[in-house]
Copies of this chain bind each other. A is one copy, B any other.
Amino acid sequence: MANRITTLFNIQLPIVQAGMVWASGWKLASAVSNAGGLGLIGAGSMHPEVLQEHITKCKAATSKPFGVNLPLLYPEIDKHIAIIIAEKIPIVFTSAGNPKTYTAILKAHGIVVVHVVSSSKFALKAQEAGCDAVVAEGFEAGGHNGIEETTTMVLVPAVAKAVNIPIIAAGGIATGRQMLAAMVLGAEAVQIGSRFVCTPEASSHSMFKQAVIKAEEGDTCLQMKRLVPVRLLRNQFSEDMKFGEEQGLSVSYMKNKLGKGRAKKGMFEGDLIEGELEIGQVSALIDAIKPAAEVVQEIWQAYNEVKAQL
């Protein structure tokens, strides 16, 4: 398998493991890269010294390329960028911000830059900013989400119509069938998050992993639409947020109720009641914890089997 994405990243399989807060450290990223995909360290939940440590450990654990996912609204972003440049990280995925701000700096250091978008309008902006590829992430995805609520089925062809740079599809992808569907829609790779949360290598709390495995259809919801829309598992916290929205409570009340550290509390500390549990709709189709390498192999094998049967 060779296409613009495998060539761009110098990887064997067009499977990217999403950079996720409180889940994707060096263990997960190196396991996915060693399995032939692209592993990403999720810098969004790391202080600079923690990111530095994960990069050092990831380099020791794999000789294959890996990348860093960088939410552009992160307060210590300049320190993160300095570390990424100093460590000669080959690939950076940026999200949640304007791609104009940092793409040129990163590219000047020879770094491949990919931006995560939820609309073809933003995809076009990413292309104009010089990004090498975009992740087109649909409404079904876990975590931060676009306000347009466009699903992967509609978003990927729309983005493919708008830009020339290659597209990585995200949102609702955990199986070989879903990967093939995404490729048919116009993607040249897939970014997979939820499925990789349910691996021993993910740093997420085991209680959270078990909750993801148990999740059924309708167990995730999009909340905090007036703050930053986030898809998460339904629990007491999501119900509180839903109540606030339905009652038309103010944004400042909602922000105060959200407070600080909700995501860490849920996904890292395992508080299934009051924590924020970011995960995608596809959690309904995930029912076992498996090593990351096995996940990659299973998806790739099923992808090829379904393709051969067409």
Among B151, B184, B245, the residue within 8 A (CB) of A172 is B151
CB <8 Å contact, B284 and A158: yes
Partner of A222, one of B149, B154, B161, B281: B149
Residue pair A148, B285 in contact (C-beta under 8 Å): no
| A284, B154: Cβ atoms closer than 8 Å | yes
Measured CA separation A170–B147 after assembly (Å): 23
> Which residues of B sit under 8 angstroms from A307, Cβ to Cβ?
310
Select one of B140, B157, B171, B218 contacting A147, CB under 8 A: B218
Name the interface residues of A146-187: CB closer than 8 Å to any CB of B: 147-155, 157-158, 161, 171-173, 175, 177-178, 180-182, 184-186
> How many A residues, CB 8 Å from partner?
46
A120 adjacent to chain B (CB < 8 Å): yes
Q: Is A138 an interface residue (CB 8 A)?
A: yes
**Interface set, chain A 82-127, CB cutoff 8 A to B:** 119-121
Whether the pair B153, A184 counts as a contact (CB closer than 8 A) is no
* A147 to B242 Cα, complex, angstroms: 14
**Nearest-Cβ distance from residue A175 to partner chain B, whole angstroms:** 7
Could you give 25 example pairs across A and B, Cβ below 8 Å? Answer: A119-B218, A120-B217, A121-B217, A138-B153, A139-B139, A140-B150, A148-B218, A149-B218, A149-B221, A150-B281, A150-B284, A151-B152, A153-B153, A153-B282, A154-B172, A154-B217, A158-B217, A177-B184, A178-B185, A181-B181, A181-B184, A181-B185, A184-B306, A245-B246, A247-B248
